Amino acid sequence: MEILNREFPDSSIARIVSDIKQKPELRALDEAFVTELLVKELTQAPKLIDFILKHEPRTLDRSEKYKKLIKSVRAKLRKTYGMFLTKEFRKQKRLLHDLREAVLKTDIPMHAIEKYKALLRTHVSTKERLDIYPELYWKIWEITAKPRKVIDISAGLNPFSFPWMGLNNVDYLATELNKTDVDLLNEYFEFKRFGLYGLAIQLDLQQAIKRPEMLQGLPKSDVCFLFKVLDTLEEFAKGHKASEVLIANVPVRWVVASFPTRTIGGKRSMSSKKRTWIEQMCKRLGYTFKHFVLKNEAFYVIDKQP
């Protein structure tokens, strides 16, 4: 691989990526995604590239410069991904097994609700949303009508909130960067219970933004959830262009985008309940929207075909 006109052996990149991932909460991350962040970091530090290329791996590991690089990339990864996992995430396999047992015994998803909740508690975003799920989907369907086809972008564990959706015949496509979530979701969709026909695929939004045809190629659907995704996306790029590309190209009529009105950890809010840029974007593109707030999350339901 070439970085700033210097030939960087793939084996060195792979070794650094592996060192970065030596933390339990980062182990599941996609190699390509970590590589992308590492290359970005190195591109900003030409002297560090020369330093790494000059040194033997064994001496390199002990150097302060190398340790600093590893720490810095880890910090960025935690910011975009790692912080969304709760301490419970290691239990996910067992919890999925318990859910399977429970759903096989009933025809009514609500009968297994405690098992769904246990899984939802293993991810910060869905844990924070537990109190509002009973109301959330009814508020959305009131505007959009019940969908037959849903796309849930960077879904995390949100598909486990299915019992509250009140749907009984839905094609559900979940995308996620994190391969562990994708695998877990596909095992869950394999239950094929209650009219939920699901599929999870890996999708890096950084790539999809650069190649909007990746978004246009998703199956044409009724509603797309972008729950707490746009702020994450914008960590990487200034401005709202990436969010706009995503909203405009995803092949649905309705986009439901949400934002935290508080920062993770419950600190005093810096984020407001409204995002004026979304409202201005809708006006400019001829979309209409409805806005509502439930607890600590603000929702925009955008109609792209008013």
Ligand X SMILES: C[S@@+](CC[C@H](N)C(=O)[O-])C[C@H]1O[C@@H](n2cnc3c(N)ncnc32)[C@H](O)[C@@H]1O
Write out the residues near ligand X by the rule CB under 6 A.
80-81, 84, 125-126, 154-156, 158, 176-178, 203-206, 227-229, 232
Between 122 and 154, CB nearer to ligand X: 154
CB of 266 to ligand X, least distance (A): 15
Between 16 and 203, CB nearer to ligand X: 203
154: Cα within 13 Å, side-chain hemisphere: 22
Element housing 247 (H / E): helix 241-249
Between 93 and 283, CB nearer to ligand X: 93
Between 13 and 230, CB nearer to ligand X: 230
Counting other chains too, the contacts that 279-288 makes at CB distance below 8 Å and 24 or more residues apart are 281/240, 281/244, 281/247, 285/244, 285/248
CB of 36 to ligand X, least distance (A): 8
Contacts of 149 (CB under 8 A, 6+ apart): 170, 171, 172, 173, 219, 220, 221, 222, 223
Pull the structure tokens for residue 28: 């599941």
CB of 232 to ligand X, least distance (A): 5
Nearest residue to ligand X on Cβ basis: 156
CB of 176 to ligand X, least distance (A): 6
CB of 230 to ligand X, least distance (A): 10
CB of 233 to ligand X, least distance (A): 7
199-233 burial code (b ≥16 CB/10 A, e <16):
ebeebbbbebbeeeebbeebeebbbbbbbbbbbbb
In the block, residue with structure tokens 């935690």: 78
From the list 41, 109, 112, the residue with the least C-alpha distance to 71 is 41
292 Rama sector, left if φ>0, alpha if ψ -120 to 50, beta otherwise: beta
CB of 254 to ligand X, least distance (A): 16
Between 129 and 304, CB nearer to ligand X: 129
Between 144 and 161, CB nearer to ligand X: 161
Between 156 and 198, CB nearer to ligand X: 156
